[in-house]
A = this chain, B = another copy of it.
Amino acid sequence: MDVVATAALASAVSDAGGLGLIGGGYGDEAWLRKELSSVPPQTVGCGFITWSADPKLVEIALEHRPSVLFLSFGDAAPYIEPAHERGVPVVCQVHNLEQVRASVDLGADVICVQGGEAGGHGIGGRSTLTLVPETADLLADRAPGTLLLAAGGIADGRALAAVLALGADGALVGTRFWATTEAQAPATAKSIAVTLSGDQTRRTSVYDIVRDKAWPKRYTGRVFDNDFVHKWHGHEDELRANIAAAKQSFQDALADEDYHHANVIVGEAIGLVRSVRSAAEVVSDMANQAERIMRSQTHCPSSATERSNRT
């Protein structure tokens, strides 16, 4: 969620009963200091793209005592001890079982497994539906005190109920919060995104190439499968050979808010997001829908009987 997840979004999520995250992303010191300064300590977490993180920025975040330090995409080893020294739990977000094992060995407090259906970067070889229970079994065996979060494809209470059934202790939600009023994404991008089906997303590297983001080779990012992606995905060598013109065209599209060419970073779950709402509404609707489904599935006497959750 990078810089889209500002203090305003994170606070709104936490205020509504979730745990919001500030998206430290690739790292911008001024931006990070500003966002952290507007939230009290221990009210929201702070996340980084680990391979690109500046240790100094992680230090700035830790000094602010976030609720959690959230580390994705890379070696979390240098940050575990500094976080623990300040009493800050560490969430390691990983993409396959091999990485789960490594994170357990590092002493992660929480493991967040992200399936390839997620928006933005990841490895993409695993899906949430299989990775969560396989990880739950591994944790039960090797680190039963470690909490498990599920990420990727979770945008409503149906998916929240589903990942809880799979053995997760909670869910990380990106795309649904990207399409909230508080998220710092352009309104034009949001208004296009809420019309998309999950079919209209794709994992690709073309926007990393055109943005000079040196992502390690195994990572791709899921985005709106727009005209720019249609043009260049599968033709990456050609894109590199025409990089100056492609960059110009990308920058122009960004400036024009032309999201058929600029990037819209959303996951498959965008197909379940039909309107831009407030973060508080999203938190409350997800929780209520999940509870309704779980009650209706077992026909608890205290709940209204619902034939199905297609509501």
Residues of A within 8 A of B (CB): 96-98, 115-117, 125-131, 133-134, 136-137, 139-140, 144, 152-156, 158-159, 161-167, 197-199, 202, 267-269, 271-272, 290, 293-295, 297-298, 300-301, 303, 308-310
Contact = CB atoms under 8 A, between A and B. Distances in A.
Given A129-B127, A298-B298, A300-B298, A293 B165 contact: yes
A16 to B, nearest CB: 22
A269 B269 CA distance: 21
Given A125-B199, A130-B271, A136-B158, 11 more contacts: A126-B268, A127-B152, A129-B154, A130-B269, A133-B156, A133-B159, A134-B271, A134-B272, A161-B297, A294-B298, A295-B298
B164 A297 contact: yes
A155 to B, nearest CB: 8
Q: Is the interface of A mostly helix, strand, loop or mixed?
A: helix
Contact of A130 (B161, B268, B294): B268
Given A139-B310, A272-B137, A298-B294, A199 B158 contact: no
Nearest to A128: B129
Contact of A128 (B127, B154, B165): B127
A199 B99 CA distance: 10
Contact of A310 (B136, B163, B297): B136
B137 A309 contact: no
Given A162-B162, A165-B293, A300-B300, A117 B139 contact: no
B129 A167 contact: no
12 contacts: A96-B199, A115-B129, A126-B198, A127-B128, A127-B129, A129-B153, A131-B198, A134-B197, A162-B163, A165-B290, A165-B293, A165-B297
B167 A309 contact: yes
A191 B136 CA distance: 23
A68 to B, nearest CB: 21
Contact of A198 (B134, B153, B272, B308): B134
B165 A165 contact: yes
Contact of A153 (B130, B167, B268, B290): B130
